[in-house]
Structure 1
Amino acid sequence: MARPIVGIIGNSYLINDQYPAHAGGTMNSEAVADVAGCMPMLIPADPRFVSVPELLELCDGFLLTGGRPNVHPDEYGEAVTEAHGEFDRARDAITLPLVRACVERGQPFLGICRGFQEVNVAMGGTLHPEIRDLPGRMNHRMPPDGTLEEKFELRHIVSLTPDGPFARLFGATEVMTNTLHGQGIARPGARVVIDGHAPDGTPEAIYIKDAPGFTMSVQWHPEWNAAMDPVSRPLFTAFGAAVKDWAAGLRPKALKSA
C-alpha cells in the first residue's frame, strides 16, 4: 500500500549565489520516512506554484521545517528592524494560512524551529527578533563553527508541563534538546499553549488548545538523529500515527489540554 504523504515545506535558496532553488534538509526526509513511516514530498512554498487548497488535498500531513529566513514582522504587526534578519514572503503566504486551515480541519502538522514560530504567528502571536538580546536569556543560536554533530548537540533542558501532552508523549517532565534559533515567541497566539520552556524561560514546545488534530510544534530540531534520539523518535512516531489516521479517513478527537 502507498504510504501517507507528508508535505515538507521547502525553503528558497540560491545555489552558488546565482541559481534559485527550492530545498529541504535530507534529515527532514529521513525522519519522515524512517521514523514517521510516511512518504516525504518537498513542497515549493510559493503561491506562484501551489495553493493551500491543493496542498490540503494532496498531502495527509505537513512538516513545517526550520529555515534561515524569518517570518516577516508585518505578519504580526511590527516594523522591520535589522535584528529581524532575512525573510521569505512567499513561504509566509503559504504556511500561515496552511496552519490555520489544518487547525480547523484537524489535519496533522509538526512545526520545527521556524515552523514553530509560524504556528504562533498564524494564530495571532508575536515574535522576539533576537532572543539573546533579551535580559537573562541565553544564546540559542547555532554555534558558528564545528561539525554538524557539534552544532546539533544537546545543549539545554526543556521543562515540560506535568501531565501535559509533551510530558505524556516523552514520559518525562524534562528532556534534553539542541538549540539552533535566533528568534522566539514573545506573545503566544490565540489558543497557543506553551507546554515547555528552556531554563531561561524561552518557549520551546507548543500545541493548539482544543484543536481536533495533531498540532505539536517545537523550537528545537528533532529531525537530527531522529531514529535514535529518545525525544525525537516518539515525536515523529506520534506525528506519523496521526498522518496515517488522516490518510485512512479517521478524524481525531480534540487534543487534551494540560
Structure 2
Amino acid sequence: MARPVVGIISNSHLLNDQYPAHAGAAINSVAVAHVADCLPLLIPSDPSLVGVEELLEACDGFLLTGGRPNVHPEEYGEEETPAHGSFDRSRDAVTLPLIRACVERGQPFLGVCRGFQEVNVAMGGTLHPEIRDLPGRDNHRMPPDGTLEEKFALRHKVTFTEGGPFHRLMGTREVMTNTLHGQGIKRPGPRIVVDGIAPDGTPEAIHVRGAAGFTLSVQWHPEWNAANDPVSRPLFQAFGAAVHAWAARDLRALRRA
C-alpha cells in the first residue's frame, strides 16, 4: 500500500543569483520518509500555483519547515522594522490559511522553527523580531561558523509542562535541543498552549488547544539527525502515526462512498 503523503512547505531561493527556485532541505524529506514513514512531497510556497483546498485533498499531513525569511509583521498587526529581517509574503499566503484549515479539519501538521512561528501567528499570536535583544534572553541564532554538525549541535535544555503532550511523548520533562532562530513568540495566540520553554523563558514547544488533530510544533530543528536523536525520533514517529491515521480515515470514507 502507498505511504500517506506529507506536504513539505518549500522556501523560495535564487540559484546562481538569477534562477528562481522552490527548494527544501534534504533532511526534511529524509525525516518524513525514514522516520515518519510517509511519502515526502515538496510544495511550492506560492498561492498563484497552489490553493489551500487542493493541498488539503492532495496531502494527508504537512511539515511546516524552517526558513530564513520571517513572517511579515502585518500578519499579526505590527509594522515592519529593520529588526524583522527579510520576508516571504507568498509563503505567508499559503501557510497561514493552511494551518487554520488543518486545525478546523483535524488534519495533522508538524511546525518547525519558522513553521512554529507560523502556527502562532495563524492562531492570532505575535512575534518578537529579535530574541537576543530582549533583556535576559540568550542568543538563539545559528552559530555563524563551523560545520553543519557544529551548527546543529545541542545547545540548551527545553523543559516541558508536567503531564503535557510533549512530556508524555518524550517520557521526560527535560531534553536537549539545537537552536537556530532569531525570532520567537511574543504573545501566544488564544488557543496556543506553550508546552516547553528554554532556560531563558523563550517558548520552544506548543500545541493548539482543543484541536482534533496533531498540532505539535517546536522552535528547534528536529529534522536534523531525526532517525538517531532521542528527541527528534519520537516526535517524527508520532507525527507519522497521526498522518497514517488521517490517511486511513480518508480511505475508509472512500470505501463507504
TM-score, normalization: structure 2? 0.97
| C-alpha distance after superposition, 1:51-102 (max 9, x if no partner) | 0000000000000000000000000000000010000000000000000000
1:209 aligns with 2:209: yes
Q: Aligned partners of 1:222 and 1:16: how far apart in 2? A: 29
State the 4+ residue runs in structure 1 displaced beyond 2 angstroms: none
Report the counterpart of residue 173 of structure 2 in structure 1. Answer: 173
Q: Aligned partners of 2:39 and 2:190: how far apart in 1? A: 32
Q: Aligned partners of 2:106 and 2:212: how far apart in 1? A: 5
Report the counterpart of residue 36 of structure 1 in structure 2. Answer: 36
Q: Aligned partners of 1:75 and 1:173: how far apart in 2? A: 33
Paired-residue identity, %: 78
1:213-224 alignment, distance < 5 Å: 213-224=213-224
Q: Aligned partners of 1:250 and 1:171: how far apart in 2? A: 31
Report the counterpart of residue 237 of structure 1 in structure 2. Answer: 237
Q: Aligned partners of 1:213 and 1:81: how far apart in 2? A: 35
SS at match of 2:158: strand
Report the counterpart of residue 72 of structure 2 in structure 1. Answer: 72
How many residues are matched? 251
| C-alpha distance after superposition, 1:106-126 (max 9, x if no partner) | 000000000000000000000
Q: Aligned partners of 2:180 and 2:63: how far apart in 1? A: 17
SS at match of 2:243: helix
Report the counterpart of residue 101 of structure 2 in structure 1. Answer: 101
Measure how far apart 1:250 and its partner are: 6.8
Report the counterpart of residue 254 of structure 2 in structure 1. Answer: none
Report the counterpart of residue 16 of structure 1 in structure 2. Answer: 16
Report the counterpart of residue 120 of structure 2 in structure 1. Answer: 120
The unaligned stretches of length 5 or more in structure 2 are 252-257
Alpha carbon RMSD of aligned pairs, Å? Answer: 0.9
Q: Aligned partners of 1:192 and 1:250: how far apart in 2? A: 27
The unaligned stretches of length 5 or more in structure 1 are 252-258
Counterpart of 1:76, as a letter, is: Y
